Amino acid sequence: MAWFVAAWSCLLVVVMVSSMRLGRSSSSSSCGGHGGDSHGCGGWGPRSYPVIGCLVAFYRNRRRLLDWYTEMLASSPTQTIVVDRLGARRTVVTANPANVEHILRAKFANYPKGKPFTDVLGDLLGMGIFNVDGELWHAQRKLVSHEFSARALRDLEVTVLEAEARDRLVPALAAAAAASGGVVDMQDVLRRFAFDVICRVSLGVDPGCLDPALPAPRLAAAFDTAAGIIARRGAAPVAAVWKVKRALDAGSERRLREEVGVIHEAVMGLIRSRRKERALLLVNGNGGDGARSDLLSRMIECGYPDEAIRDMVISFIMAGRDTTSSALTWFFWLLMRHRDVEAQVLDEIATTRRDRGAAAGEDGEGEGLDLDDYRRMRVLHAALCETMRLYPPVAWDSKHAAADDVLPDGTAVGRGDRVTYFQYGMGRMEAIWGADAAEFSLDRWLSLPHGGDGAAAASAAAAFAGVSPFKYPVFQGGPRTCLGKEMAFVQMKFVASAVLRRFELRPVDEGRTPAFLPLMTAHMAGGLNVTVRRRTPAASGGAANGTGGELTSS
């Protein structure tokens, strides 16, 4: 009862503050030529009223926010809208590439993540790189840039991918193929695979999430539960409610505290044991001979304190556990709807494998592919890019203005305003991608110039670099550009090749169009249930159906 009374008290405060704020906004804004449902004082957006703002329209569209925002952005002359509602700060939402570049690069210092963002994620991510700004962010970025460029970490990813695919992913799908009519949720399989990979690369431990012989790891369950509660915090119409529950240690906030405790205890335990291991190596005079290559161990080598290491590795687990699996889930679904594209991808995989076998002096198909082989795969790269254009792993990203500003399209931004660039909507804007923006088409990528015959030009990523990151901000842009971009593409191409050349996937429900759920990382509502069949050698371009290594280090 006490938390209920406290929550209502906070709500009354929110009403009073919102009333004063909206009153100031109304008196200082002009209403020029913006009427109807998509217009209002202070900017293009949903119809607003005194005190409650656009709360009525927001409530009506609460189950279709992505499509609602996309429709309003498409109707706006500037692809920008202003959303002002009770219980939330004024929000500028944009799908305008010029605005995105302004936010992410030109005025980067004026658009930090901000305290409202870090408050939501702080209990889980602490002071990790994805939840800090300013000098602390710069210091962590410098460290992580060095680590991600290190050959040892890239080689470790390759080794882990090979082992996880050989020992778990391929056998799991083979077992489903052997069971007549067996159904597999590919989204679940891919999430488990990704969690195993990111834990082995970040922590140096194997949780065995995809191993049916092992019990479900407690750490994976803790991350799932914590991420779900954090996502609901971010989507809450009135932030004061979850903050009151946290202060009173009630309901979902108590559960969050417990799950974060499980995560912290597990990671801190690993840090302590790894420090002891390192001390023993030094005592025995082995120096760096037995040093591990995982991110946690490398940070210990750099001399960082325990809590900083904990927050950093938790941040990278959160970033890597669902992003690639989300993209791959939608990739496989789209290929099942576009068998012509699947055939093109299969042909490229088979050709690349034949070339690798010939280059290595092997007879017939090559057994493994190296990093350069994957970098040259333009069709597969285009299919993945097109998938993420329509179904980005992160649907939107928000910053908070440190000072008053005006965006390139003329939209006024006040100090403290939330400014959101909307990747999901940008992928559907005809103003950006043309009249066929809603279609799944590889031509928009494959039509880009190759740029010559050199090693760099042969890279699909180099060829597609002509697409501005501010037009396609799936991996952000500017100083915060995703450091794990190349590693993500390696993992996605690896999995796509390993699965497609061996197995044919068919959707259980051919007519279903799944819903896109924008949680912390986007998910496919209801999963991706498929039947699995072995692909014949002829259908896969003669590729071997064994479970040998998919990738070797270059």
Residue 451 confidence (pLDDT):
54
Residues 6+ apart with CB under 8 A from 337: 440
Average pLDDT over residues 194-212: 92
Q: Establish if 297 belongs to a structural domain.
A: no
The token pair at 73 is 């952005």
- pLDDT tens digits along 26-70: 333 333 333 334 444 446 899 888 989 998 999 899 889 999 999
Question: Binding-site residues for heme, please?
Answer: 482
The answer to whether the Cα torsion of 478, 483, 486, 488 is positive or negative is: negative
The model carries a pTM of 0.86
Q: Establish if 238 belongs to a structural domain.
A: no
C-alpha 193 chain-centroid distance: 15
**DSSP H helical segments within 236-370, as ranges?**
239-247, 251-283, 295-301, 306-337, 339-359
How many angstroms separate the Cα of 510 from the Cα of each of 77, 514, 515? 38, 11, 15
How many angstroms separate the Cα of 519 from the Cα of each of 303, 419, 481? 35, 18, 21
Residue among 537, 482, 529 at smallest CA distance from 319:
482
Buried b (16+ CB within 10 A) or exposed e, 444-458: bbbebeeeeeeeeeb
Q: Establish if 266 belongs to a structural domain.
A: no
Question: Binding-site residues, please?
Answer: 482
The token pair at 81 is 């809208």
Looking at the 3D structure of the chain, how many domains does it have?
1
Question: Please, what is the Cα angle at 528 between 527 and 531, to 5 degrees?
Answer: 140
How many angstroms separate the Cα of 150 from the Cα of each of 125, 136, 164, 291? 24, 22, 22, 14
Q: Establish if 91 belongs to a structural domain.
A: yes
State how far the Cα of 550 lies from the Cα of 368, in Å rounded to an integer. Answer: 5
253 burial class (0-12, 13-18, 19+ CB within 10 angstroms)?
Answer: buried
- pLDDT tens digits along 263-274: 999 999 999 999
Q: Establish if 94 belongs to a structural domain.
A: yes
State how far the Cα of 417 lies from the Cα of 114, in Å rounded to an integer. Answer: 10
Element (H, E) at 369: strand 369-370
- pLDDT tens digits along 421-475: 999 999 999 999 999 999 999 999 998 876 544 444 456 666 676 789 999 999 9
Whether 519 shows a pLDDT value over 80: the answer reads yes
Q: Establish if 66 belongs to a structural domain.
A: yes
Q: Establish if 19 belongs to a structural domain.
A: no
Give me the domain span that covers residue 424. Answer: 44-106+397-439
Q: Which of 7-21, 97-111, 338-352 has the lowest mean pLDDT?
A: 7-21
Whether 306 shows a pLDDT value over 70: the answer reads yes
Residue among 539, 127, 534, 495 at smallest CA distance from 325:
495
**What CA dihedral angle connects 122, 126, 129 and 132, to 10 degrees?**
50
Residue among 50, 62, 51, 48 at smallest CA distance from 16:
51
- pLDDT tens digits along 388-405: 999 999 999 999 999 999
What is the 3-state composition of the chain as percent helix, strand, coil, each rounded to the nearest 5? 55, 10, 35
